[in-house]
Structure 1
Amino acid sequence: MKKTFLSLLVGCMFVQTSWAQFRLQAGKPISVTCDTNDTPVVQTALNLFKRDYEAVFSAAVQESPSKGTVVVASLQNQILSDTDISALEGKKQAFLMKVLSNGNLLIVGSDGHGMAYGLMELSRMIGVSPWEWWADATPKKRAFFELPAGYSDIQSPSVEYRGIFINDEDWGLMQWSSLTYEPWYKPGRIGPKTNERIFELMLRLRANYYWPAMHECTQPFFLTPGNREAAEKYGIYIGGSHCEPMASSTAVEWGKRGKGDYDYVNNSNEVLRFWENRVKEVANQEILYTVGMRGVHDGQMNGTKTVEEQKNVLKHVLNDQRGLLQKYVNKDITAVPQVFIPYKEVLNVYNAGLQVPEDICLMWCDDNYGYIRHFPTEEESARKGGNGIYYHVSYWGRPHDYLWLGTFSPALLHQQMKLAYDRGIQKMWILNVGDIKPAEYQTELFMDMAWNMEKVAQEGVDAHLENFLKREFGEKEGRMLLPVMKEHYRLAYIRKPEFMGNTREEEYHTNAYRIVKDLPWSRQYINQRLADYQRVSDEAEALFRQIPDDRKDTYFQLVKYPVQSSAEMNKKMLYAQFARHGEMSWQKSDMAYDSIVSLTRIYNTGIHNHGKWHRMMDHQPRRLPVFEPVDRSSVQEPILEERAPLYKWNAMECSEGSPVSCEGLGYEEKAASIEKDTKLAFNFQDCATDSVELEIALLPNHPLTDGGTLRVAISLDGNEPQIVEYQTQGRSEEWKENVLRNQAIRKVLLPVKKKKQHRLVVKALDEGIVLDQIKLYSYK
C-alpha cells in the first residue's frame, strides 16, 4: 500500500496581519478544501472541528471544492513543496502543525489518524474540552485566537494503540444508553448512537482502541446494527478483553451462535467454527484480535484441570486462530495486529513455558487494584509484537468492588504507568474505565500519558490535574480547586469510599462478609478524617456557588458529586461506628445516607441539562451492603485509642540519602522510591527506652521480576540489619488487606543504644521499593 501524507491548511478570511501570525476571529468564517479523503476519520474530525469552530467563534467552516483557506492534501500536493515534513517520515498517527509565512496554519498528518488528531489539537487550542459532550463542558465564546509567526509543533504517540474498556456496565452506561439516550424496547443494549459519542470522546482524547461492553446484560457489539459502521467512521480499532478472543463477545455470543460446550478439548470443531464465522464477517474492518482462550466469561478454560493441560490446549488454540487470520485477513500473519493477555490464571500458564509467537503483543495486567503484576524481561522487550498493559481504575471483584465514584489515585496511576512505559510496555495500553463516568480525569491522564509520556512526566501529575481544572473551570477556579481535589484523592487513597463498610465479596453468599464492621481506626483518626472530609466538602460547595450557570453541570459531575458523596459515605460509616459503640445516635449516619441519595438524584436529573444523564449514576452498584443504610447493631469493645508514635517520618523527610519522589503518592503525599542498594537515613534523639517497635509502610506493589522479591534492610545505630520481605502471592489475605489500604505494613523490634543521637537506616535490596511512612513506638 502506498504511503501517503495528509495535510490541512488553515487560514482566516480577511484577518491576516502583516507579521504573518495566525489569527482566528469571532464572526469570521474559514473555508476548507479536501482533495484527499480516503480515510473516514479525517472527514469525521473535520465535521467535529466545524462544530467546535462555530461554537467558539459563531462562524461557519465552509468546504471549498478548489481553493480554500483550509486545505487537506496528499504528500504530492504542491502546497507542501516548500515545507519540510521529513520529521513525519516513518511515524504513525503523527502530525505537524506550523504557521506559514502567509499567516495560514498548516497541519500535516502522517496518516489519516494523524490528520484527525491534528484537527482535534486545533479544537483543544481554541478552548474545546475533550469532555465537551460527556461532561457538558460547553465551549466558551472567544473574540479571537492567535498563534505567533513561525509557530511549529510536531506530535506523535508514545504508545501505538491507546484505548478504553467499557466494563461492569450493568448499573450505569447500559441502563442510560438503552433507556435514556437511545431507548430500546428493554434494558440491555449499547447502540450505535451511544458508541458514536464514545468514539467522539476517544478521538478527542487521541485514543484509537476499544473493548466494547461484554457483560451478559448487554447485547454484544457485533450483534448490534450500526456499531461496526460507527467504529469505522471514527477510526477505532475494535478489540476484546482477555475472555473474548477473535472479536467474539463469548459471554453472550456463545449462547446465540455456539453449539455445545465452549470447550476446546471436547468441542474444538464448533468452537473453531464460532471464531471462523466472526473473522469472515469482520475481515475487512480494523480489528485488533485478542488470541488465546479462557472460559465463557471471567474464568478458567473448560476441559482442563492442570496448568500443563491448559498450556497444551493453548498451543493448539493459538495455531488454529492464526490459521483463520491468515485465511481470511492477511496471508502475512505478522501484518495482523494480535494480542495475548496473561490475565489471572493465564499468567501461570505463560510462566509455565507457553510459547507465544513473537509477532503477538503480550499484554500484561495489574492486580485489578492498580499494581502491575509483571514487567517485560529483556527477551520479552525484544519481541516484534511488543508489550501492552491492561489497567484498572474501576473494578468488580474480590476483595471489594470500586465501581461508584472514580476515586482511583492519579498519583498511583502516574507512577505505575510511567514505570510500565520505562520498562518497555509501549505497544498497547487499555484502561478499564467502567461506565466512563465518573472516571473522567483518570481517563484523560491515562490517555495523555499514552500520547506523550515525556510531556506528562515533565509537567508532573499535580500540574496536569491543575491544567485540567483550569481548562474546565477557569484559571482562578482551577487554582482554588487543586488542593480540594488532591485532598479528595488522598483521603480515598487511604480508604476508598466503596471500602468503608469493612466488608468483603469473596464470601458474598455468607452473612459474615455482608455485615458492616468497624474499621481499625482510633477515635482520634476518625474525628480527623471526618473533619478533613467536611473541609473539602465545604470548599467544594463554596466554589460551586462561584461557578457560572453554564458550568454548573460540569462542576457537579467532575467535582461536587464525587467529593461530597465520598464525604457523606465516610460520615455514614464513621458516625455509624460511633453509634455502634453507644457514643452517638444513628441520626447522623442516616442523614448522610439521605444526602447520597439526594446528590445522586441531582446527578441523574441535572441542574441545567434536563436529565441528560438519567440512569447513568447509581449510588449502590451491585446492591452491596456498604451502600445501604447501616443496620443498627451494638458492640461492647471500646473504640481504639490512638497509639502515639515517638517519631514518624514520610519517605521524603529522610535526613540522608537520595529518595526519588513519587509525586502525590502516599498517605501524606510524600512517598518515594529507593533505588536498589541505596539507603535512606532518619536521625532522631531523646529515646528513653532500650528497644522500639518500628512500623514500616511501603507501597504494596509487586516485584519487577517474576518470582522476585521486595526486601529492605533495616538497622538502628549500626546494629545488624533486619531483613524485611513484603511481596505477596496471588490473592492472599495479606494482598487483600494491602490493596484495601494501599500499604504493605511490616513491624520489627529494634534494640536502642544508650546515646543521644540515633540513626535509623533503610536500604533497598531489590528494585521497585517505594517507601511511604515509618513510625517508631515505645516497646512494652
Structure 2
Amino acid sequence: MNYLVFICSLFLGYTITPKNPSTENTNTNKLPGFEIFTSQNQAIILYNKNNGKLDSISAHLLAEDIFKVTNYKPEIITNIKQAKGNVIVIGTINSKLITSLLGEKAIKAGFENQWESFLYKTILNPTKKIKKAFIIAGTNPRGTAYGVFNISKKIGVNPWYWWADVPVKKRSELVLNQPDFYSKAPSVKYRGIFLNDEDWGLQPWAAKTFEPETGDIGPKTYSKIFELLLRLNANTIWPAMHPSTKAFFYYPDNAKVANQYQIVVGTSHAEPMLRNNVDEWDKNNYGDFNYKTNKTNVLNYWETRVKEAKNIDAIYTIGMRGVHDSGMEGVKNNDEAVAVLDNVITDQRNLLKKHINPNIENIPQAFTVYKEVLDLYKNGLQVPDDITLVWTDDNYGYIRALSNSEEQKRKGGSGVYYHASYWGRPHDYLWLSSTNPYLIQEEMMKAYNLDNKNIWILNIGDIKPLEYNMQLFLDMAYDADKFQNSTYITSHQNQFYGTIFGNKFAEDLTKIKTNYYKLAFERKPEFMGWSQTEPTTQIFNTAYNTFSNGDEIQQRIDAYETIEKGVDLIENQLSENLKSAFFQLVSYPIQAASNINKKFLYRDKAINYAKQGRKSAKKYKTLSNEAYNNIETLTKEYNQLSNGKWQGMMDMRPRKLPVFDNPSIELPELTTTETIGFSIEDTLKSTTNLPKLPTFYTNDNSSYFIDVFLKNAEKCTWTFNDLPHWIIVSKASGNLVDSKVMEDRIYVSMDWDAWKKAGEPISDIIKLQLNSEKKNIQINTSNSYNNIPKNSIVEKNGLVIIYANHFSKNKINDNLKWKEITGFGHTQAVMASTPLSSNDISNYEETAVLHYELFTETVAKNAFLTLVAIPSHPITTGANLKIGVQWNNDPITILDFKTEGRSNTWKQNVLRNKAEKQIQVSIPKKGKQTLKIYMMSAGVMLDYFVLNTENKTSIPYKFSSETIINEK
C-alpha cells in the first residue's frame, strides 16, 4: 500500500485493503476486508422493516454517511431475497433476519442480555447471492444504532458533522477492515443531556432559522439532537423547558420523534411526571401548584401526562418542587415538606402502576436531590428503594454528595445531574464553555467509582459552544474505564481535535485549549466583572493587581494573546472547508474569552494608571472599548457561519447582565505639575521616600519592573546612570513621545557571578535620569539561603508559596493515603485524600500525613498560613472535609473546608475555584520550618499553601509560582 494512503487511512479511522493480496495484514482478521465501495463492489444495506423505526433511521443515515464519503449511496432493501453481492445487514441479534444469517449459537453466550451492546461479524457466502455480509447487530435497537454510527466514525463521518460543520473526508474507494467484535455494555445505563437556558441560542435559532414552520424547538430540531445523541452513544434527553419554549409534549411529533429514535425522555429536577410546569401549569384554570390545598388538580395534571406518555420510553421524575426551580409551595418547614413529599411520591407511583406497569420496579424513576430537596432528604425523607437517587453538583461543577455504602445498595441505584452551563447565583455562565475537563473527569469518575452510575445527565445549555465538554461527558458515561486516570484527558483532547483538524495540529490545539480552560479555572470569562446576580450587581474592579506580582493584569492579557496567536497560526494553515468548524470549536470561544478579559483588565489599567497621572490611561480605555467591539464582530461572524446556518445561535449578552456591557470608564482629570513619572513593582505610586524593588535572592532568576511614563510632558528621554555592573536591565535608555510611546517598562534582574565578584553587596542604588530629574531606586539582595539544599521552598519578600504535591514525605497508613491528581487545580497537581469510601478519622497516629519543609528569613509572632483547596463538597451527606494542620511542633489545628448552602463563602469559592482556610502561626527563629497535613476526611483536594510572614491576612488573588531557590 502507498505509505501516504496508509497514513491517511489510519487518520480517517478505517483501513484500505491493499490491491496486492500478498501484502495484506491478516493478523487482525482472517477474513478479507469488506468492500463498501470499489470499482468492483458496491455494497447495499439490508434491514428488517418490521423491527422498529430506529433500524430504518440507522440504515438510511448510514447510507447518507457512505455517500458523504464516496459520493456513492447504497441501495437500501428490507427483503433478504433481494440481497446480493456485499451486504451490510442491520438488526437486533434476536431478530429473524440476524439469526437466519448468524444462527442462534454463533453469538457469545449471555451477550444477548447485555445492555445496549452491539457486535460486528463478517460472513462469507451466507446465501447463494450474498458474497459477503457485514453484520451490525445490537442487543436492542439503540445498541444496533451505536454499532452503525461507530462504523460511520470509522469511515470518517464525525458525530459533529452537522452540529459543528465538521467536513467528511472524501475517498475514491472505501474498504472496511473490521474484525469480529463484541462491544462492552455502556458504563452508565442512562446517559444524556438537559437542554436548558435555551432562550439566547437554541430556541431563537430553531424558531427563526432552522425550524420557522414551527417557530420553536420542535420535531425537526429534536430529530437532529437525537441523531447527535445516538452518534455520541447516548440515550436520554431532558427537553428544553424555559418560558421561551413550548413544552415538549405541546408538539405531538416531538414524542413521536423520540420514540422513533428510541431516545429516553426524562425531565429536570423541577418537572415531575414528564410535565413542564412553566409552560403547562395554568394557575388561572388549575389554581395553586400546592399539593396540600389543591391535590386533586395537581394529581389530575400528572395523570393526564402519564396516560399520554404510556407508549414512550421514559424516566419519570418523582417528587415535587415549585413551578420553576423553586421550593415546594405551601409548606412551612422541612418536617412539613417531608410529610407532603411522602404523600406525593406514593400518589405518583400509584399513577405509574395504574397506567404504565403494575410492577413499579420495572419503571425507570428518578428523584433528584437538588437544592432544598437535599435538605429534605437529610431531614429523613424516605425514597422508595427502586427509585434512582440523582445527586447534583452545586451548579459550578462540584458534586454536593454521593451515595454512601448503604445507598449504594439501592435497587434503583443512583446517578448525577451535572452542570456545564448555569443560570443563577452567584453568577451565570451561559455564554462560553469554560468548565475545566479535568474537573469534569475528577468529579464524574468519583461518582462512577462510588457506584453512582445509573443516570448521568449534563446540563449543556444551548449545546453550542459546549461541544467538546458534551463529547467528553458522554464518552466517560459510555466507557468510564478509559478515564480512570486524569492523564487520559490529554489523549482524549488530542483525539477529538486531531480527528477533525488533522493529527499534526492535535497536540498544539490540545495545549491551546488546556491553557484556555486553565485561565477560565482561575476566573471564568463571565465572572470577570466581579459582579453577581440574584440580586444583580454592577461591575467592580477585578482583583488582579497591575502593580505587583509581575503585573497580574498584563500576565493574564499576555496569556490570552499567546493562545490567540496559536489559534491564528493553525487557522491560517487549514483548508477552507475546515474554517467554519474551527471557528465554532476553537476560535470563537478563545477569542471571545480573551476579549472579555481584555475588556475588564484594560479597564482596570486605565483607572489605575489615571490615578498615577499617566497619559497612557486613555489608551487603555480605548483598548477596553475595542475589546467589546471585537466581541460584537466575532459574534456577528459566528451567526453568519456556513451561509447563515447558525443565525441566531450565538448571543454575546445572555440575560443582558452588566458583565456583558461595554464598560463606561470615567477617568479622573488629575491636576499635577509633574511632567514625567515612574513606578516600580509593588509600589502604587512614586513617593518622597526612597523607593525600592522587591528583594533579589542569591542564585534566583527573578526579575522586577520599573515603569517610566509621561504625565504632562510631550516627550521624555530617560537613562540609567552609573548602573552597577551586577545589575541587568532589559533596556538602559529610551525616549517617550506623546501619542506614540507614552511609557516604557524596564525589567531588572541580577548577574550573580558579577555580584559575587563585587563582594556580594547587600544593597545599592539605581540612578534613573528622567529628562533633568534624577530618581534613585534601592536594590536589596539576600543571601539567607546560601546553605540550604538546592531547590528548597523558601520565603521571598514576605511570602512562601508551596505546591501541595511538593512534599518532603508522604506517609501512607494502611489504605489511607494522599494521592496526586495531575492536570487539575491551579497548580495542575492536587493532593487528594483517599480512598473515597473511608470514614472520617479522629486518630492522628493512624492516618496519612503530608510533610513539608520550608525555609524563612523572618522572625514573626503573627504570620498567617493560608491553605488553598479545591472547593469540593463532602463525599456523602453525613461527611466532612477536614484536615489536621501542624506547624512545627505546635498543637494540631482542625480545619473543615465544608460549606453550607449558598453562603457567601461558597459563592466566593466557586467564583474563584478556591476554598481557603487560614491559621495564625509564629516563627520564633529563622531557617527551617515544618508543616504537616493530616488526612481527617476523604475527598479533600489540596492545591497550594501560602505563608505570609508580614502580618498580612490577605494573599494575592492570582496564583503565583512556588517560591523555590533555583539549583546552585
User: Mean alpha-carbon deviation: is it higher for 274-283 or for 666-675?
Assistant: 666-675
| Structure 1 residues 244-286: Cα deviation after superposition (integer angstroms, max 9, x where no partner) | 1111101110128951111111111111111111111111111
Q: CA deviation at 1:40?
A: 2.0
The correspondence for 1:419, drawn from 438, 446, 455, is: 446
Matching residue within 419, 429, 440 for 2:467: 440
> d(CA) in 2 for partners of 1:185 and 1:54?
30
CA distance in 2, matches of 1:174, 1:282: 24
Would you say the 8 A contact 1:91–1:156 is kept in 2? yes
SS at match of 2:415: strand
Q: Is the 8 A contact 1:15 1:24 kept in 2?
A: no
Answer 1 or 2: higher relative contact order, Cα 8 Å, separation at least 6.
Answer: 1
Q: 1:60 to 1:648 in 2, by over 3 A?
A: same
Offset from partner CA, 1:363-422 (integer Å, 9 cap, x none): 111110011111112221111111011100000000000000111111101100000111
Give the structure 1 partner of residue 921 of structure 2. 750
**Is 2:715 the partner of 1:715?**
no
Which stretch shows the higher mean deviation, 678-687 or 423-432? 678-687
Q: Deviations over 1:662-715 (max 9, x none)?
A: 232111322231337322222233544346432211010111122422112222
Query: What is the SS of the residue equivalent to 2:75?
Result: strand
* Residues 136 and 346 (structure 1), Cα distance of their counterparts in 2 relative to 1, 3 Å cut: same
Q: Could you tell me which residue of structure 2 aligns to residue 600 of structure 1? A: 635
Write the distance in 2 (CA, Å) between the matches of 1:635 and 1:705. 53
SS of the equivalent of 2:572 reads: helix
In the other structure, the counterpart of 1:79 is 101
Could you report, residue by residue, the CA deviation over 1:733-756 in whole angstroms, capped at 9, with x for unpaired residues?
000000000010122233336475
Distance change (3 Å), C-alpha of 1:37 and 1:455: farther
| Alignment match, 1:121 | 150
Whether the 8 Å contact between 2:544 and 2:552 is mirrored in structure 1 is no
Percent sequence identity over matched residues? 37
Q: Deviations over 1:423-453 (max 9, x none)?
A: 1111001110000001111101100011000
Distance in 1 between the 2:800 and 2:525 partners?
Answer: 29
Please tell me the residue identity of whatever aligns with 2:498.
Answer: K
**Counterpart check, 1:630 vs 2:663:** yes
Residues 172 and 618 in structure 1, CA contact (< 8 A), matched pair in contact too: yes
2:170 maps to 1:157: no
CA distance in 2, matches of 1:386, 1:357: 11
After TM superposition, give the deviation of residue 194 of structure 1 in Å.
0.6
2:206 is paired with a residue whose SS is: helix
Residue 161 of structure 1, CA deviation: 0.5
Amino acid at match of 1:478: A
Kept after mapping to 1: 8 A contact 2:528/2:659: yes
Spell out the pairing of 1:33-432 with structure 2 (5 A cutoff): 33-35=46-48, 37-64=50-77, 65-66=79-80, 67-68=83-84, 69-73=87-91, 74-75=93-94, 77-81=99-103, 83-86=106-109, 88-99=111-122, 105-143=134-172, 150-184=179-213, 189-255=216-282, 259-432=286-459
In 2: Cα distance, 1:11 partner to 1:320 partner: 57
Partner residue in 1 for 2:515: 487
CA apart distance, 1:223: 0.4
Aligned to 1:664: 823
Q: TM-score, normalised by structure 2?
A: 0.75
User: Is 1:739 aligned with 2:763?
Assistant: no
Q: Contact (CA 8 Å) 2:120, 2:179: kept in 1 or not?
A: no
Conserved? CA contact 1:100–1:149, under 8 Å: no
Is 733-742 or 531-540 further displaced after alignment?
531-540
My pick for the range that moved more, 539-548 or 678-687, is 678-687
Pair 1:681–1:261, CA change in 2 (3 A): same
Residues 15, 23 of structure 1: 8 Å contact kept: no
C-alpha separation between the residues in 2 aligned to 1:71 and 1:16?
A: 28
Q: Match of 1:595, as an amino acid?
A: N
Counterpart amino acid of 1:653? H
Task: State the AA in 1 paired with 2:63.
Answer: K
Distance 1:160 1:438 in 2: 26
Summarize the Cα distance change of 1:11–1:714 in structure 2 as closer, same or farther, 3 Å threshold: closer
2:589 is matched with 562
Contact 1:36–1:72 (Cα < 8 Å) also in 2: no
- 1:683 and 2:853 matched: yes
Q: Which has the larger radius of gyration?
A: 2
The offset of 1:220, in angstroms, is: 0.9
Question: Using the alignment, how far apart are the partners of 1:697 and 1:522 within structure 2?
Answer: 23
Moved more, 360-369 or 95-104: 95-104
Bigger Cα displacement from structure 2, 724-733 vs 684-693:
684-693
TM-score (ref. length: structure 1): 0.93
Q: Secondary structure at the match of 1:198?
A: helix
Pairing 1:529–2:529 present? no
Q: Structure 2: how far apart are the matches of 1:565 and 1:715? A: 45
CA RMSD of aligned residues (A): 2.6
What is the match of residue 45 of structure 2? Answer: 32
Is 1:465 aligned to 2:500, yes or no?
A: no
Distance 1:39 1:14 in 2: 38
C-alpha spacing 1:11/1:766, structure 2 compared with 1 (3 Å): closer
SS of 1:155 mapped into structure 2: coil
Paired AA for residue 60 in structure 2:
N
Letter in 2 for 1:202: L
Given that 2:217 and 2:245 are in contact with CA atoms closer than 8 Å, whether structure 1 keeps it comes out as yes
Query: Deviation per CA, 1:308-354, whole angstroms, max 9, x where unpaired?
Result: 11111111111111111111111111111111112111111111111
Shift, 1:153, TM fit: 4.3
Question: Structure 1's 185 and 80: CA in aligned 2 closer, same or farther, altered over 3 A?
Answer: closer
Q: Within 2, Cα distance between the matches of 1:241 and 1:636?
A: 54
- Alignment of 1:518 with 2:545, yes or no, is no
Residue of structure 2 in register with 1:591 after alignment: 626
Equivalent residue of 1:420, what SS?
A: helix
Q: Which amino acid aligns with 1:29?
A: Q
Cα distance in 1 between the residues matched to 2:134 and 2:358 = 42
SS for the counterpart of 2:255 is: helix
1:540-559 Cα shifts (integer Å, max 9, x gaps): 11211111111100000000
2: distance between equivalents of 1:101 and 1:372?
A: 52
Q: Deviations over 1:745-778 (max 9, x none)?
A: 1222333364754432222211001011122332
Q: Distance in 2 between matches of 1:11 and 1:530?
A: 45
Would the alpha carbon gap of residues 350 and 143 (structure 1) be closer, same or farther in structure 2, given more than 3 Å must change? same
CA distance in 1, matches of 2:385, 2:265: 22
More divergent stretch after superposition (144-153 vs 214-223): 144-153
The 8 Å contact of residues 17 and 175 in structure 2, kept in 1 or not, is answered as no
Provide the residue aligned with 2:675 in structure 1.
none
- Mark the runs of 5 or more structure 1 residues left unpaired by the alignment: 1-9
Please state how far the C-alpha of 1:32 moved relative to its aligned partner. 2.1
Distance 1:24 1:718, change over 3 A: farther
Which residue matches 2:740?
A: none
* Preserved contact between residue 381 and residue 424 of structure 1 (Cα < 8 Å): yes
The 10-residue stretch of structure 1 (70-79 or 320-329) with the greater mean CA deviation from structure 2: 70-79
* Corresponding residue of 1:729: 900
Q: Write the deviation string for residues 552-593 of structure 1: whole angstroms up to 9, x where unpaired.
A: 000000000000110000000011111222152210000000
Give the secondary-structure state (helix, strand or coil) at the position aligned to 2:282: helix
